[in-house]
Amino acid sequence: MCCQHNTARALSKTSEKPIPSIKKTGDFKRVFNKGRCVAGHMFVMYAAENEKNMLRLGISVSKKVGSAVVRSRVKRLVRECMRILAGSGGFCRDLSYDLVVVARPLAGGLVEKSVFLSVKNQIEKLLRKHGFLA
C-alpha cells in the first residue's frame, strides 16, 4: 500500500460521523446567491448561515472535471477531508452554516494522481479564508 493511502487511513481515524449533506436544489441556490465566496486553484467554497443549527456540506462537480469515476472520487475526497477536519477539532460541527464546495477542472487532474494531502490542504485554506479554522 502506498504512503498516501496510509496517511489517509491514519487521518480518517480522528472522526466519527459524516457531515450531513445538502441535497435540495433550493438550498444550493440559496447558498450560491446569499453566501460568501472564497476561491482557491482547485475549489471554490461558498458559506451561508442556515436555521438548522448544524453544519451541512454540499459538493458540486461538473462534467468539466472529468468522467463519472473522477467526479465521484473528487466528491469522496472532499467529503473525507471535511470529515477529518471536523473530527480533529479544527472547527465545530455545531456551526449553523451551509458550505458548498465547487470543484474546478484542475481538481480532476490532481485526483487522478491520488494527491489526498493536496486536496486536504486546499480545503483547509478555504476554511481559513472563511474564518472557520484558526
Residue ranges of domains in the chain, CATH in brackets: 3-130 (3.30.230.10)
State the Cα–Cα distance between residues 38 and 44, nearest whole angstrom: 6
pTM for this prediction = 0.82
CB 98 within 8 A of CB 48: yes
Residue 120, CA distances (Å) to 27, 34, 53 in order: 25, 26, 25
Beta strands 97-103; 56-61: pairing state: parallel
Average model confidence (pLDDT) across the chain: 84
Specify the residue for cell string 480518517. Answer: 12
- Average pLDDT for residues 18-33, to the nearest whole number? 94
Model pLDDT for residues 92-134, shown as the tens digit of each residue: 666 889 999 999 998 888 765 557 888 888 999 999 898 888 7
